[in-house]
Copies of this chain bind each other. A is one copy, B any other.
């Protein structure tokens, strides 16, 4: 089969198929991707520059879908706006937990990523955060979101209570939920702690 009149592939179809493989198997190779698309591996290179590019296409796709639900205007409290933005940011990743470990190479230039940060910057300014602290605050949120997203890719039982003799830690492990619920609770707590702290920066001068 040579060139078809209608192209068989597109960046979107490639990213979609790769994402399905990751959700299913936790990883993908150019060979398994080609097979899922009913195509030879070399065909993929007519649409993306390589495997790294496929990963960037997935990052963009996942964040585009998340930014679509970024309707935040109806909320009054700017703190609540920031909270919703960050929850949706993290939720975008949470839909594809196995993807996160592939996203560790930084790219802030993609337009889909920029839109998140622009929205966040606006709300932080509205909150009264001084200009020279805004990027620090964004970076902190970014670290928490990325760290929490990585946590989603962790196995069901992260904490093995048989591996410690420590009484406090053992009791804490027994008392805590497991899996997704543990990850969700922790992210919510982190968000609340950070947002609570923001109120204090707001009223104090820059460091």
Copies in the complex: 2
Give the docked Cα–Cα distance between A106 and B67 (Å).
Answer: 28
The answer, yes or no, to whether A125 is at the interface (CB within 8 Å) is: yes
The answer, yes or no, to whether A176 is at the interface (CB within 8 Å) is: yes
Q: Which of A14-22, A74-82, A184-192 lines the interface with chain B? A: A184-192
Q: Which of A5-13, A45-53, A129-137 lines the interface with chain B? A: A129-137
The answer, yes or no, to whether A64 is at the interface (CB within 8 Å) is: no
Residue from B135, B154, B186, B201 within 8 A of A173 (CB atoms): B135
- Taking CB atoms, residues of chain B closer than 8 Å to A31 are none
Give the docked Cα–Cα distance between A118 and B101 (Å).
Answer: 26
The answer, yes or no, to whether A71 is at the interface (CB within 8 Å) is: no
Query: Provided the pairs A164-B118, A168-B122, A200-B196 are in contact, do residues A143 and B101 lie with their beta carbons within 8 angstroms?
Result: no
Query: Provided the pairs A122-B166, A153-B104, A196-B200 are in contact, do residues A143 and B189 lie with their beta carbons within 8 angstroms?
Result: no
Give the docked Cα–Cα distance between A138 and B147 (Å).
Answer: 12
Check A169 against B121 for contact (C-beta < 8 Å). Answer: yes
Closest residue to A148 on the B side, CB-wise? Answer: B143
Give the docked Cα–Cα distance between A123 and B24 (Å).
Answer: 40
Query: Provided the pairs A121-B169, A122-B168, A168-B134 are in contact, do residues A139 and B193 lie with their beta carbons within 8 angstroms?
Result: no
Using a CB-CB cutoff of 8 Å, which residues 89-135 of chain A contact chain B?
100-101, 104-106, 108-109, 111, 114, 117-118, 121-122, 124-125, 131-135
Query: Provided the pairs A104-B101, A166-B122 are in contact, do residues A194 and B200 lie with their beta carbons within 8 angstroms?
Result: no
The answer, yes or no, to whether A182 is at the interface (CB within 8 Å) is: yes
